[in-house]
Amino acid sequence: MKVALIGGTGFLGSYLVDELVTHGHSPVLLVRPGSEAKLDHPEQCVTLAGEVGDREAIRRTLNGCDAAIYNAGILREFPSKGITFQGVHFEGAKHTMDLALELGVRRFLLTSANGVKPNGTAYQKTKHLAEQYLKTTGLSWTIFRPSAMYGPPRGRKEFVTELRDQIIRSALPAPLFYEGLLPLRPGSFVISPIHVKDVATIYVKSLAMDEAVHQTYPLCGPDPIEWRTLIEMIARASGTRKLALPAPVLALKPWLFLLEQFEFFPITRDQLQMLMEGNTCDSWEVFDLFGIAPSAFNEASLQYLYV
């Protein structure tokens, strides 16, 4: 199967290329100029240069394909550079859906996110808008909502490695975020990280499964973990220990308002809000359907941190 992949050089994208090639598919990738070196399996892929805002580049990428995967996404926007959630998550996805329909590319997979909603952060709202639009198109769609993904980063940004570099290796104590005035249970919100290879395997298997059409799948790992325990685990897997102290969200928000405009600052108000909401779901039915034995999230699976 010839599969167009929009967003194939990032973390999940690189694993999607692996799985597509392994299963005998022919990936056709839209690659942002300057990102050519990030492409895995270049000899087995067709690449076209362009941005998600370039309709003609997307048209060339989709032309002649049997299926499309829209996997473009950002965790943070920089409007002054033209990088926005609206542009990448919704408008880019909408253009790709419209062109897929026009060109007869009927099968369409969309990367959304666990926790999307119409009244959430800009990240959540724009992902939700893309989902809602896809359902109106007449395409044979499948929507995936992954939780935080982890696994060997292979030179890309990855959830756990970022926490190691920004928190564990920082000279400051690890923050145990909490809401309210008193730190009754700081750092007790829960995350269910899922291994990126499990996610990529499910995506690629779904291409050949009629029962996956017009379905939305939550993708969370089998091991829900509190933030404070997660920090301890990452520290141990990195070969160290880390002091953690309560951090009141109420006191942090004014500082985030001032500092989030700078790229070097690691977190924004919206990211903190989504973190505090937690990120869990039950994906056992999905694992059963796709024949996946999900990877456990533990120190053994985090050995790539010890570098």
For the chain, the domains span: 2-149+194-219, 159-191+223-279+295-305
pLDDT of residue 40: 83
Check the CA dihedral 122-126-127-132 and report its sign. Answer: positive
For residue 245, give the 3-state DSSP assignment: strand
| Contact criterion met (CB below 8 Å) for 17 and 40 | yes
| Contact in structure between 62 and 99 (CB atoms under 8 Å) | yes
Please determine, looking at this structure, whether the domain spanning 2-149+194-219 carries the CATH number 3.40.50.720.
Answer: yes
Separation in Å, CA 21 to CA 16, 39, 44, 61, 106: 9, 13, 7, 17, 21
- What pLDDT is stored for residue 243 in this prediction? 98
CA distance 166 to 101: 42
Q: Show the tokens assigned to 160.
A: 């756990």
| pLDDT values of the chain reduced to their tens digit, one per residue, 307 residues | 999 999 999 999 999 999 999 999 999 999 998 888 888 888 999 999 999 999 999 999 999 999 999 999 999 999 988 999 999 999 999 999 999 999 999 999 999 999 999 999 999 999 999 999 999 999 999 999 999 999 999 999 999 999 999 999 999 999 999 999 999 999 999 999 999 999 999 999 999 999 999 999 999 999 999 999 999 999 999 999 999 999 999 999 999 999 998 888 889 999 999 999 999 999 999 999 999 999 999 999 999 998 7
User: With contact defined as beta carbons under 8 Å apart, do 96 and 138 qualify?
Assistant: no
* CA–CA gap between residue 218 and residue 198 (Å, rounded): 13
- List, in order, residues 6 or more apart from 203 with CB less than 8 Å away: 16, 19, 69, 109, 144
Task: Give every CB contact of residue 248 below 8 A, 6+ residues apart in sequence.
Answer: 177, 178, 179, 180, 181, 183
Q: Both tokens of residue 307? A: 């570098």
